[in-house]
Amino acid sequence: MDWHLLGLTFITVFISELGDKSQIAAIALSGNTKSHTGVFFGTAAALLLASFLGVLLGEGTAHLLPARVIKIVAAIGFAVLAARLLFFNEASITNVEEEA
**pTM of the full predicted structure?**
0.59
What residue spans define the domains of the chain? 1-64, 65-100
Tell whether the model's pLDDT for residue 52 goes beyond 80: yes
Q: Which residues contact 17 (CB under 8 A, 6 or more apart)?
A: 23, 47
Q: Which residues contact 24 (CB under 8 A, 6 or more apart)?
A: none
Gap between the Cα atoms of 66 and 62, Å rounded: 6
- Hey, is 45 helix, strand or coil? helix
Residue type, 9: T
Q: Name the pLDDT band for 75 (thresholds 50, 70, 90).
A: very high
- Hey, is 77 helix, strand or coil? helix
